[in-house]
Chains A and B, each alone.
Chain A
Amino acid sequence: AQTVTQSQPEMSVQEAETVTLSCTYDTSENNYYLFWYKQPPSRQMILVIRQEAYKQQNATENRFSVNFQKAAKSFSLKISDSQLGDTAMYFCAFMISNTGTASKLTFGTGTRLQVTL
Chain B
Amino acid sequence: DGGITQSPKYLFRKEGQNVTLSCEQNLNHDAMYWYRQDPGQGLRLIYYSQIVNDFQKGDIAEGYSVSREKKESFPLTVTSAQKNPTAFYLCASSIPSHGDYEQYFGPGTRLTVT
* Interface residues, chain A, with chain B CB atoms under 8 Å away: 4, 33, 35, 42-47, 50, 91, 93, 95, 97-98, 100-105, 107-110
Evaluate contact between A103 and B45: CB separation under 8 angstroms.
no
B76-103 CB mask vs A (1 if < 8 Å, else 0) is 0000000000001010101011010111
B29-58 CB mask vs A (1 if < 8 Å, else 0) is 011010100001111110011100000101
CA distance A50 to B102 in the complex (A): 8
Evaluate contact between B96 and A103: CB separation under 8 angstroms.
yes
Contacts of A97 in B (CB 8 A): 101
Most buried by B among A45, A50, A100: A45
Given known contacts A42-B107, A43-B108, A47-B102, is B50 in contact with A101 (CB within 8 Å)? yes
B43 to chain A: closest CB distance in Å?
Answer: 5
CA distance A104 to B42 in the complex (A): 13
Residue B64 at the A interface, CB < 8 A? no
Evaluate contact between A45 and B90: CB separation under 8 angstroms.
yes
Given known contacts A101-B50, A109-B42, is B101 in contact with A33 (CB within 8 Å)? yes
Evaluate contact between A91 and B43: CB separation under 8 angstroms.
yes
Interface size of B by CB at 8 A reads 30
Contacts of A47 in B (CB 8 A): 102, 104
Contacts of B43 in A (CB 8 A): 45, 91, 105, 107
Contacts of A109 in B (CB 8 A): 40-42
Evaluate contact between A102 and B107: CB separation under 8 angstroms.
no
CA distance A105 to B31 in the complex (A): 13
CA distance A4 to B43 in the complex (A): 11
Given known contacts A105-B43, A107-B42, is B48 in contact with A43 (CB within 8 Å)? no
Evaluate contact between B97 and A100: CB separation under 8 angstroms.
yes
CA distance A110 to B41 in the complex (A): 7
